[in-house]
Amino acid sequence: MNVDDVNSITVLGAGNMGHGIAEVAALAGYDVVLRDIKDEFVQKGYDQIEWSLNKLAEKGRLSQDDADAALARVSTAVDLGEAVVDADVVIEAVPEKMSIKKEVYTELEEHAPDHTVFATNTSSLSITELSEVTERPERFCGMHFFNPPVRMDLVEVISGAHTADETLELVEDLAEEMGKTPVRVRKDSPGFIVNRILVPLMNEAAWIVHAGDATMAEVDSTTKYDMGLPMGSFELADYVGIDVGYHVLEYMHEVLGDAYEPCPLLSGKVEEGDLGQKTGTGFYDYEDGEGAEVPHDKGSEAVKNRLLGVMANEVAGLVGNDVADPAAIDRAVKLGGRFPDGPAKMADSAGIATLVGALDNLHDETGEERYEAVQYLRDLAQSGEGFYGGEEESDEAPAFDDISIEVRDGIGHITLDRPHRLNTISIELMDELSEAVDAFAEDDEVRAVLLTGAGDRAFSAGADVTSIAAGGGDAVSGVEISRKGQQTFGKLEEFDKPVIAGIDGFCLGGGMELAMCADLRIATERSELGQPEHNLGLLPGWGGTVRLQRIVGTGRAKEIIFSADRYDAETMADYGFINEVVENDGFEERAFEYAKRFAQGPPVAQRYTKRAMHNGWEDTDSGLEVEAQAFGLLFTTSDLMEGIAAFTSDRDPEFTGE
């Protein structure tokens, strides 16, 4: 069976994950049966799907007709036989207990058609052990969605010991049909990829505080600002639920040994019922206190190396045991954990030898197994190479990490490729953007540049504040960050060829400042634009105070910046910022067609037109002089002759830039 043969999907379990997976499948066009053990559970899950679809329509993520059609594809059942009678794929999302899941699969085997593929959404339990309850272990695999499934792009596709390659390929294709990014986990290993990285990291953060080596504020400041992670370690534990990570850790401890012994700080919180945001208190107080207020300037280099060392050790264990390669691990953790960069890349940047030294010192001091560096990590340290240092690894690594580029039909397309972070702009992304613009400037095949953001949620939601502002309070570094953004974005403004910004979703702060440097801007109806810097006590620092008023006028620019409000695309079109507002569906191809119009223009004339207009911004006489000189130069070009010939022949010109 291949993905084209899949028509009906049954989801077992109507809880948060189950109804989310069912919604994703229905949105992808599949007939879905949502099943749970009680009518009230099923109805609650169905109601949540209906609510979510309506919210997506309300926000412009899809039309109301599409939302209604997706809901119509969802039916409900309590009887298991009825639920799976026509199922091509069954995705199980029942409670994360081995005994419960085994009972479900034992009963499921009695009712499911012979051709049905079984996929479990377990976040850590053994795929092999679960598959052996059935009579079809070769057609059984892990399909681990991340919460909430509607928003999170990652799906880990996990092989059990008996899983056939055809099954893995089918489930990967199915994930892609659902609009997700599958990452294959080649071996059944506790925690798979993302939890295998994140849960020991959470545990180590707790051990650091438990041992009195650092305060909770110091640990969270280090992880959030010095390491640039989306949340502090304790902040994240509270957000996810301390019990969730703790139960995964218990399983890893049981299977993998004492290196994964849960810290008493975690077990104590679970025993007391202080599980984080969902109970009102956890490591932070969300009822009577201020919640998670993480300081910017309490980071510790020792804490950073300790956490990075533990994380690198887990990466090395996965790579050395052929569970996944560094590129797959980095992709999974960036998507599933919303890391600004992958853990393998982070370890390489810190220096493998430095991290092994930190682990060895901790092992000498404590004797704890979790600090014993695995052999693969030691080998990397001794060779002086990182995870991407060898020839094989470097071949697998993409040319760029934070952007992607292609040239098609004369258009150089740059995609801000950090959808896990809403395409926020980091220092590393700016460096890559600068390199890509330079490359396109030298490429004669490129006649125009199109700039877009990956996914349909954001062109760019602004600066990656947590990574850029690491340490905080340094005026000199702040000035340099501002200048770097101004200079990098300025390359697009000064680019000799037309630059088009294709905006879909959020275009905020630094993202909007980047769009200002384009010559033309096209946006979807659902896009939201704004300069929220005043809400942070900042001002636009990447050219916004100068460029925005040139586009919309001084009064409008002050309104946009001072209010820090968000504006819809139609309003920004009325203000003159957006050239064209288009429908949400088929946006990327529409953006290409829009850019193609300008890629077919006369290159020499376009180049000098931009120069004349830009010179005229500051000095009218200067602009007029450039205009006159350019006008004279264009009289000598072959393009002018081609334009005249095309005009007199009533055909489209074919300009060559000569």
DSSP string, 61-108: SS-HHHHHHHHHTEEEESSHHHHHTT-SEEEE---S-HHHHHHHHHHH
Give the pLDDT score at 391: 42
Are 326 and 387 in contact by the 8 Å Cβ rule? The answer is yes
Based on the residue annotation, tell me whether 247 is a catalytic residue of this protein.
Answer: no
* Tokens coding 58: 């309300």
Q: What is the pLDDT of residue 374?
A: 95
Span 185-203, mean pLDDT?
A: 94
The pLDDT tens digits for 491-529 are 999 998 999 999 999 999 999 999 999 999 999 999 999
Tokens of 395: 């071949």
Q: Give the C-alpha separation, 49 to 51, whole Å.
A: 5
- 12 phi, psi to nearest 5 deg: -95, 115
Structural tokens at position 82? 């009825």
Q: Which amino acid would we find at residue 64?
A: Q
Catalytic residue among 144, 162, 247, 420: 144
Q: Can you give the pLDDT at residue 62?
A: 84
CB within 8 Å of 55: residues ≥ 6 apart:
none
pLDDT band at 636 (very low <50, low <70, confident <90, very high): low
What average pLDDT does the segment 32-42 reach?
A: 96
Give the Cα separation of 40 and 512 in Å (integer): 46
Q: Could you tell me whether strands 458-460 and 448-453 are parallel, antiparallel, or unpaired per DSSP bridges?
A: unpaired
Please, which pLDDT band fits residue 640 given cuts at 50, 70 and 90? low
The catalytically annotated residue of 92, 156, 172, 432 is 156
Predicted pLDDT of residue 257: 94
Helical (H) or strand (E) element with 411: strand 411-416
What pLDDT, in 10s, does the model give residues 261-301? 999 999 999 999 999 999 999 999 998 888 888 888 889 99
| Average per-residue pLDDT for the chain | 90
pLDDT higher for 327 or 479?
A: 327
Give residue 481's Cα distance to chain centre. Answer: 23
What is the mean pLDDT of the segment spanning 587-603?
89
SS3 call for 12:
strand
Domains of the chain: 3-185 (3.40.50.720), 193-383 (1.10.1040.50), 403-588 (3.90.226.10), 601-649 (1.10.12)
Residues with Cβ within 8 Å of residue 567, at least 6 apart in sequence: 528, 529, 530, 560, 575
Is pLDDT at 101 greater than 90 in this prediction? yes
Residue 645: the pLDDT is 65
Q: Whole-model pTM? A: 0.78
Closest C-alpha among 375, 561, 334 to residue 464: 334
Lowest mean pLDDT, pick from 120-124, 264-268, 290-294, 548-552: 290-294
In this structure, the number of other CB atoms found within 10 A of the CB of residue 251 comes to 22
Catalytic residue among 126, 195, 203, 460: 195
Q: In what order do the strands lie in the sheet with 403-408?
A: 403-408, 411-416, 448-453, 499-503, 520-524, 580-582
Please count the other Cβ atoms lying within 10 Å of the Cβ belonging to residue 272: 12
Residue 144 annotated as catalytic = yes
Active-site annotation holds for 195:
yes
The pLDDT value recorded for residue 623 is 52
pLDDT at 392: 42
Residue of 123, 126, 300, 460 marked active site: 123
CA distances from 621 to 231, 232, 628, 630, 632 (A): 52, 55, 11, 14, 17
Residue 568's pLDDT band, with cuts at 50, 70 and 90, is: very high
- Residues 427-472 pLDDT 10s: 889 999 999 999 999 998 999 999 999 988 899 999 887 666 554 5
